[in-house]
Every structure is written in C-alpha cells, then in structure tokens.
Amino acid sequence: MTISAKPISGFKEFLPEEQMLFNRMMDVIRRHYELFGFAPLETAAVERNDVLLAKADEENRKVMYGLHILNSANPALVENVKNYSLHFDQTVPLARYVAQNYGKLHFPFRRYQIQKVWRGERPQGGRFREFYQCDIDVIGDESLGLLHDAEMPAVIYGIFSELGIGKFIIRLGNRKIHNGLLEDLGIPLHYNVKRSIAPGPDWDGEIVEDTKNTLTLIDKMYKDGIEETRRAFHDDVGIPEERIDELLSFLSHKDDVHATLKWLAAQNRNDMFALGVSELTEVIDHMQALGIPSNCYGIDFGITRGLDYYTGTVYETTLVNHEAVGSVCSGGRFDDLASTFIDRKLPGVGISIGLTRLFDALQRSGAICTGAHCPTKAVIFNMTPSLRHEYFAMATALRAAGIPTEVYLEDKNINKQTKYAVNKQIPFGIFMDEKRQNRGVCTVRNYSNGDEAEVSLTQLKHHLHQL
Amino acid sequence: MTISAKPISGFKEFLPEEQMLFNRMMDVIRRHYELFGFAPLETAAVERNDVLLAKADEENRKVMYGLHILNSANPALVENVKNYSLHFDQTVPLARYVAQNYGKLHFPFRRYQIQKVWRGERPQGGRFREFYQCDIDVIGDESLGLLHDAEMPAVIYGIFSELGIGKFIIRLGNRKIHNGLLEDLGIPLHYNVKRSIAPGPDWDGEIVEDTKNTLTLIDKMYKDGIEETRRAFHDDVGIPEERIDELLSFLSHKDDVHATLKWLAAQNRNDMFALGVSELTEVIDHMQALGIPSNCYGIDFGITRGLDYYTGTVYETTLVNHEAVGSVCSGGRFDDLASTFIDRKLPGVGISIGLTRLFDALQRSGAICTGAHCPTKAVIFNMTPSLRHEYFAMATALRAAGIPTEVYLEDKNINKQTKYAVNKQIPFGIFMDEKRQNRGVCTVRNYSNGDEAEVSLTQLKHHLHQL
C-alpha cells in the first residue's frame, strides 16, 4: 500500500524546466533591485498573531494560517506556538523588523524582500495559497523625499523590459487627488456596509457592519464595470446621480501625460487636490530624467489601490497583451509604516511583484515556453569506461572555467546517453574515445543546430565559451 | 500603546550587512551545485501529514508544525487544512515530488533544493526552529552507479574551498562496512530501549519501548565520548566487554587513506564487509581523479549517520578550526527514496549543508565579519539639487553597465550624505557640482583607502569597472 503523492491545491510546484525559467525571472528581478542599491532582507516565515492582526485588514484576518505542534509531549512548546501564524504579506514583517532594528538601520532604509507568503483562501484561477512576492520599499526616518516615488517606476521599467514578456504600461495615480476630488464632490472617504455571515455547523451566522474605504469602489471600477460602480456609489454610499456623473467623468479622463497634467493644473478644487497634482507632476518630471520612455507609462485615475495604507503616489503595471491578468506590479507611497510597533514616523514608498501569479498567467497564455531542464551546458559522454578519470579531469577544468558540466556516470549505451542530453535540452555533448584521446581531441556536438566540430582538448573551454 | 516588535526565538533574522554575507554564501553554494548540473527545485513548504509521517522518524514526528485557519467562517477550508504541516526536511518532499512526477523526470535526476525547513523544538545553542538546508541529490531509476558517490565530495570540496572559512575535512565511511563488522562481532543492528515520558498537566506520563539503530550509538561516539559509548553497548545493547573492545578498537583506527584501505582489504570478515570495502575503495579512487586534494578528506569509522535510511557511502564534513560546530555538510547513499509513494526502486546519493547553523556558528566564533550593508557600489551625492536630472542620467548609465548605483535623494547637507555612504560601507562616492559639470568631470572618492580622483564623465563607468 503506497501513500498518495498527489499535490496540494493552491501550492504551486514546478517541473525542473519550469523552475529554471521561474528562477531566471526571479534573478532578473533581484539583479534590478540590487542595481538600485536595495539590500536583501529576509524575515521569518512566522510572526506573532498580535503583530499580524495589528496590521491585517478584514480579508487578511480570514486567511491566516495558524501553527500548532502536532505530536509534542512538551506542554511549554505546545503553548508557545499557539500565538504564531505564517505571514500573509511582507509589509507587516517589514514594519515589525524596522521597529525592532530601528537603531541599527541607516535611513533611508532600502530593502528588497523575495519570499513566499501564505494565504489560506480557496484556490481558484490564478490565486494561490502559497506564492512569491518580490518587494522593494524605501523607508524614511520622519520624512522621505518625493524623488523616491519617481525611482520606483524606473525599477519596474528595467525589470519588465528585460523580462521580455511584451509591452507593459505603468499606470500612475495619486491618492491625494482622489481624496481632494471626493471631498470637493461631497463624497465621504469611508462608508458603512452591512454584510451577513453564513451560518456554520456550530454557529447561527451573524450580520456585521464593515467600514469601507470609498476608494476601494474606484479601485474596483475596471473589474466590476462602470454600471456596478455607479450602483455602489448610489446605493451603498448614498451619493446623488449628478455627483456620481461628475466623479465618473473625472475618473474616465484619458489623455497623454502632459495634456492630463495640464488639465489637472487648470482645476481649482482644494488644497489636498492641488498637492496631489503637484506631487504627480514632480514624479513624472523626474521619471523622464530617469530615462523611462513615455510610451511605458500613463496617468490613470482608476488606479487608487484599495488599502487605507496608501497616501500619495500609487502604481499599477499591466501587460498590454495580457490585460486579463490585472496588475502584475503594484504599490505606492505611505505615511505610516510602523506606528503600531514604534513611536516614530516612518513614511515610505514601495512596489511588489506577485511572481507566482505572473508566471502562472504567462504560462497559461502561452507567452513563455520552457527550455532546458537543468543548468548543464555540456555533458561529457561515458564512451569508454576506462577513460573515466580523463572525463573527470575535463569536467573539472570546464567547471573551473565557469561552464556547468556533467559527466554521464551510468553504464548505458551511447544512444541512451545522448537521449539524456536531448531530453534535458543540454546544449553541448562531448565525445571522447581512445582514438580521439590519442590525437588530443574530442568531438563537440551542438544540439541546437546539429553541428559537430573536432576540438583540441586544450582549446575545449575556449571553444565552449565562444559558443 | 504600541505592540512589541521583539523577535521569536529560534527564528533567525539578520541585519542587512549579515544578510548580504549570508546570501553571498548561499550564492557560492548555488553556483557550485549548478556547475555540476544540478537543476533547481523548490517544493511547497507544506505537505500532507500522511506524507510527512510516512517517512518521519521518532524525532521528526515530535517537531512537526501543523497548520490551522485562524479566523475563517468557511468550514470546508478549516477542515481541509487540518491535514497539513510544514516540512521538517527536504528529503520527504523530494521523495513525494519524484513519485508524483516520475513520468516527467529524466533519470538520473539531479536536483538541488535550497529552502527553509521548520522544526518545532526548543531553540538552544545553534539549533533553530526555522533554518535553511542546501541539498543536492542524484536519484536513479532502479539503479545508480557508484561514480555518483565520488562526485559528492567534489561538490563539497569546491564549495568549502571558495567559502574561504578555513581548512575542512570530508570524512567518509560506508555503512556496509559497519553492518558487516557488527554482524561479524555478533552485535545486533537494532536494539530496544525503554524510555519514560514525563507527565504533563492532563497526563500521567508513560513508559514506551523504542527500537533504535545500533549505528546511532557509533554515530554519537564522538559527541558522547568513548566511555558513554562503551556503557551503552554494554547496558543497552547487552554486548560483552571483549566484543566492545574489539568494536571500539576498529572504530578508532586512524591512518592515512591508502594505509586504511590496505588494512581494510586485509580483513576477512564477511561479504557485506567486503562489499563496503570495495565501494569505499572505488569511491576514493574516483575522488582523486576529480581533483580533490588528499589532505581534504579521510576515512573515519566514527561516521555512520544515524538514520536507517542510509545504506552505503556516508559523509560528514568538519571545519578544522571549528570542530565544536560538528558536521557542516553530511549525507550519503540510500537504496530506497520513495517506495512509500511509488512502486519503483529509486536509489540515490545526496548531501546537505545546514547553512543557517553554519553561518551562526562562524559568526559566533568570529570567523566571518560583516561588511557592506547593501549591494550599492557607487552613490552619487546630491550636491546641487538643480543637477538632479544629471545625477539620474549618470546613475542610469552606471546601472546599464551593471554597477549598482544610488543617487542620494534626500535634501540633506553633504556631511549627512557622505555619512550615509560610510555607514553603509558603500565603496565609492561620486561628487558633481556645477563647476565640475562645466568641465565634464566628477570626483570619485574611494572609501576603502580615502583616495580621490577627478574622472571625466564619459570615463566614469570604465573607471569604476577598473576599481
């Protein structure tokens, strides 16, 4: 009786050829984060529940994976772990970490963090229960200049250009513009909504009242459609039709960046609105100096990000050929990272790439195809077992030259050996028998085009380096 | 009222300068694994309990972190997650993965896996509840040649040479030699031992009988001391004194590799013993051909690895200047990876580096000291705010040349700016004001030696590349 080896739904795993590609994408992201001087940071996968709950929103609270000890006879250990859960994002751990190490960090603190996070929700199309987030944030001590907001799109531009997954648009907004606009239109920033919770086996259900951020409705405008947004503003927030028309007309404004900035500057609403316009104008001015081509970004008033957390610049990034995927890199400016944990004003700005989701979407749409199954660039075939020690020496020399090399170590016939190379898409096969050895040469087969070349043993590493 | 940001004991986190070093060590390990053609693999952090328990030993069972949903009103989700736990090693997930994907993998399957694992034990000196394992394994389909056993020490040699943490010794043994020897001396391979479990609040305690592998006693010989080993063989296994003397005399045999192999070959015990000697001789023969210097390895009969799992070659690696750390890289040959999950014989050989423990031990002994706090190689100071766009353009050019660069983006005086560079140990500072700009130059300060050089703006990236 064997035990089933079937996978757990929502926990994505890859075949080696997929993992190779996934890691290559992660390496591109990491390299660009480092090119901008972001330091690596890794926090524990586990946090205390009071830490997580202090900054978790309604949705986060429901998806936390708590821990317990399965079979321990040590009551102290069992008790202790009751208060721990897996983290559901990297922002709460960052806040806790910065508060904890405040005296040892140098500000502005620039860090990147590429880790798995866990959310115990129902796995469905493109949503996972375990997935990678690739985050950068800059955290200031008491203040943080607006130039940092301009740098984030430069990082995004570098990464998505190099990933080569087609045209992308970085959409920018500023929450101060939205907040100023809502205030000007007499629309409240928050509203209450009643919600009934379905009964469970030991539980009669309940009707609860949630306070929602009005910007969430704008954030969902593209997803829910304009009519649902109109309905929600009317029925749930209680706004009269003509005000909604004015709001939706503003939000739907589409023009090139400079025309839009001019259009914004001409509006006379209130200080909050004017401040937002001035921030957005400055950020876009600096983005040009950072070399981001103007066809890679735009102003979009439908971008607000749902969370209460953001206070200024907000970003989303969409792939032009994969609109349905939604935003693949989002973030924004926030004023208060960690006041829950430290009596200190720590503003910041950051972005996050949901790599597992991005990879899955690209793969399902056929935008990426897998190639090699391993890092091996050359395999030395075991043609003549008595020459094994020569094969080992050749492999050691190639590895020392930085060329990932395998010696085929099993006693199989040469057809099985070359099939191994072909199956794993290893680019070069090296053949050496006694005859060739006596002449000081080997044969290099290039599997990408079928070419074969006789190469002097002393020239082998140069030959492979050139290919 | 702020919430405490204190860390959770046993879950190691680093300051940025430590994380930089830790990641550099991990990159060395990864690069060497890839140089030998091992493919990256990552499995979910979570497995079904029946999968984990099927291959967990007594110790593993007690440290499993089970999962539950903290605040969900969805009974199906709550129920479903009850059967999941965090993995405690990477071997059980590998076995499950290979069984699950058997038809899609190409054998011998060579994979590396660098992930965190979790063990809910009491954190104490050098033991962590969350830590990194860096594993490689080669898995054969039905059979796997002995040459693979020789390659493992070549990988270890490459890694520990490049890590530059001092002299190391790869200690080799072969379980067949031990098993043959025990049989020859009439010592059973397993014995039973009674153990009382301490009572808990709701529980009277219990006396249980465990079956132990006799090799575990040999494995603990160095740690427990020869007298405790003698006592355990006598009292627990029930072996007469003279047999114990003969066993301990064999285990304590120390000589150079060739003399030891000769000494082994001269012994006439049984087939199992002879097979072990022949395997060990062959492995060492190939290790020489792979270029491993003979002063980096030795035969040590005190190395058996405790687990039942291993069946042939076994390895441990110790740092000569840090003996107290114990083995920093261990592994061995096994005959049966996954028969619990698939009706197929899958033998293999592998090693594992416990990186978190290694790093912690080196750090505590002062063997490694931290340096830079970030990947940044050059920081362009914000001397003249009106030149910001020129600073941005310079930074973009340096980044395009692969040089991690920051522009100092805050409005602070130049002393505060240079202090930032010094504190974070950024190697180069770049000064450009209007005067310099008019002359087409900037000043590059080398913080490692205090040198300053005036460099033409067009030559800046070449200048930095040379340094």
The answer on pLDDT for B240 being more than 80 is yes
User: What is the DSSP code (8-state) at residue A2?
Assistant: P
Name the residue facing B40 among A7, A20, A105 (closest C-beta).
A20
Q: What is the mean pLDDT of residues B110-119?
A: 98
What pLDDT, on the 0 to 100 scale, is given for residue A198?
67
The answer on pLDDT for B222 being more than 90 is no
Which residues of A fall within a CB distance of 8 Å from B45?
11, 45, 116, 118, 130
The answer on pLDDT for A200 being more than 70 is no
Name the residue facing A5 among B42, B96, B291 (closest C-beta).
B96
| Cβ atoms B390, A291 nearer than 8 A | no
| Cβ atoms B54, B340 nearer than 8 A | yes
What's the mean pLDDT when you consider all of chain B?
93
What pLDDT, on the 0 to 100 scale, is given for residue A76?
74
Query: Which class would CATH give B16-45+87-174+254-364?
Result: alpha beta
Q: B325: distance to nearest CA of chain A, Å?
A: 23
Which H or E element spans position B430?
strand B428-431
What pLDDT, on the 0 to 100 scale, is given for residue A323?
85
Which residues of B fall within a CB distance of 8 Å from A392?
286, 289-291
Sign of the four-CA dihedral A73, A76, A82, A84? negative
Distance of CA A406 to the CA centre of its chain: 33
Which residues of A fall within a CB distance of 8 Å from B399?
35-36, 158
The answer on pLDDT for A129 being more than 80 is yes
The answer on pLDDT for B199 being more than 80 is no
CATH assignment of A16-197+208-364? 3.30.930.10
Question: Coil, helix or strand for A63?
Answer: coil
Which among A109, A114, A147 is the top mutation candidate for probing chain B, defined by the most B β-carbons within 10 Å of its own β-carbon? A147
CATH assignment of A378-466? 3.40.50.800
Name the residue facing A50 among B3, B45, B61 (closest C-beta).
B3
- Give dist(CA A263, CA B3) in Å, integer: 45
The answer on pLDDT for B34 being more than 70 is yes
Name the residue facing B399 among A35, A66, A70 (closest C-beta).
A35
Percentage of chain B modeled with pLDDT above 70: 98
Q: B181: closest CA among B270, B275, B305?
A: B270
What pLDDT, on the 0 to 100 scale, is given for residue A201?
61
Cβ B45–A118 below 8 Å, yes or no?
A: yes
The answer on pLDDT for A307 being more than 80 is no
Name the residue facing B5 among A37, A65, A100 (closest C-beta).
A100
Helix segments in A36-111, DSSP class H? 49-55, 58-62, 75-81, 91-100
Binned at pLDDT 50, 70 and 90, residue A352 comes out as very high
The answer on pLDDT for A310 being more than 90 is yes
Residues in chain B: 467
| Cβ atoms B335, B357 nearer than 8 A | no
Which residues of B fall within a CB distance of 8 Å from A49?
70
Strand-pairing partners, residue A168, are A319
Which residues of A fall within a CB distance of 8 Å from B63?
69, 72
Sign of the four-CA dihedral B304, B305, B310, B316? negative
Cβ B7–A100 below 8 Å, yes or no?
A: yes
| Cβ atoms B347, B336 nearer than 8 A | yes
Q: B168: distance to nearest CA of chain A, Å?
A: 20
| Cβ atoms B76, B47 nearer than 8 A | no
Lowest mean pLDDT among A61-70, A401-410, B97-106: A61-70
Taking the CB of residue B235, how many other CB atoms lie within 10 A of it? Answer: 10
Cβ B290–A34 below 8 Å, yes or no?
A: no
Helices (H) then strands (E): counts for chain A: 18, 18
User: What is the DSSP code (8-state) at residue B319?
Assistant: E
Lowest mean pLDDT among A60-64, A333-337, B114-118: A60-64
What pLDDT, on the 0 to 100 scale, is given for residue A208?
78
| Cβ atoms A156, A350 nearer than 8 A | no
Q: What is the mean pLDDT of residues B256-273?
A: 97
Q: What is the mean pLDDT of residues B147-165?
A: 96
Name the residue facing A410 among B85, B145, B424 (closest C-beta).
B145
Strongest mean pLDDT among A116-125, A139-148, A210-219, B194-203:
A139-148
What pLDDT, on the 0 to 100 scale, is given for residue B202?
64
Lowest mean pLDDT among A4-8, B165-169, B458-462: A4-8
Please give the model's pTM, rounded to 2 decimal places. 0.94
Cβ A34–B77 below 8 Å, yes or no?
A: no
According to DSSP, the β-strands at B378-380 and B405-407 are parallel
The answer on pLDDT for A79 being more than 90 is no
| Cβ atoms B112, B134 nearer than 8 A | yes
Which among A25, A28, A71 is the top mutation candidate for probing chain B, defined by the most B β-carbons within 10 Å of its own β-carbon? A71
Cβ A342–B70 below 8 Å, yes or no?
A: no
- Give dist(CA B66, CA B45) in Å, integer: 12
- Per-residue CA distances from B306 to A451, B209, B309, B332 (Å): 50, 18, 9, 11
Cβ A68–B73 below 8 Å, yes or no?
A: no
Residue with tokens 């190691």: B12
What pLDDT, on the 0 to 100 scale, is given for residue A70?
85
The answer on pLDDT for A243 being more than 70 is yes
Question: Coil, helix or strand for A332?
Answer: strand
Q: Give me the residue spans of the domains in chain A.
A: 16-197+208-364, 378-466
Percentage of chain A modeled with pLDDT above 90: 80
Which residues of B fall within a CB distance of 8 Å from A82?
none
Cβ A67–B72 below 8 Å, yes or no?
A: no
Cβ A37–B406 below 8 Å, yes or no?
A: yes
| Cβ atoms B41, B97 nearer than 8 A | yes
Q: A91: distance to nearest CA of chain B, Å?
A: 14
**Residue B207 contacts by C-beta under 8 Å, 6 or more apart in sequence?**
B194, B195, B196, B197
| Residue A20, both tokens | 């190779």
| Residue A83, both tokens | 């208060």
The answer on pLDDT for B205 being more than 90 is no
Pick the residue from chain B with its C-alpha nearest to A107: B420
Cβ A37–B376 below 8 Å, yes or no?
A: yes
Cis, bond preceding A108 (omega within 30 deg of 0):
yes
What pLDDT, on the 0 to 100 scale, is given for residue A115?
98
Lowest mean pLDDT among A367-371, A449-453, A462-466, B292-296: A367-371
Which residues of B fall within a CB distance of 8 Å from A68?
65-68
Sign of the four-CA dihedral A123, A127, A132, A138? negative
Strand-pairing partners, residue A319, are A168
What's the mean pLDDT when you consider all of chain A?
93
Give the model confidence (pLDDT) of A412-444 as tens digits.
Answer: 999 999 999 999 999 999 999 999 999 999 999
The answer on pLDDT for B230 being more than 90 is yes
- Give dist(CA A11, CA B245) in Å, integer: 53
Q: B321: distance to nearest CA of chain A, Å?
A: 27
Q: A372: distance to nearest CA of chain B, Å?
A: 10
ipTM of this predicted structure: 0.94
Binned at pLDDT 50, 70 and 90, residue A73 comes out as low
Binned at pLDDT 50, 70 and 90, residue B232 comes out as very high
Q: What is the mean pLDDT of residues B232-242?
A: 92
Cβ B61–A51 below 8 Å, yes or no?
A: no
The answer on pLDDT for A116 being more than 90 is yes
Name the residue facing B71 among A48, A62, A70 (closest C-beta).
A62
The answer on pLDDT for B454 being more than 80 is yes
Which residues of B fall within a CB distance of 8 Å from A74?
62, 122
Cβ A409–B147 below 8 Å, yes or no?
A: yes
The answer on pLDDT for A77 being more than 90 is no
Pick the residue from chain A with its C-alpha nearest to B71: A62
Q: What is the mean pLDDT of residues B327-337?
A: 96
**Residue of higher predicted confidence among A200 and A332:** A332
Which residues of B fall within a CB distance of 8 Å from A100?
5-7
Cβ A2–B341 below 8 Å, yes or no?
A: yes
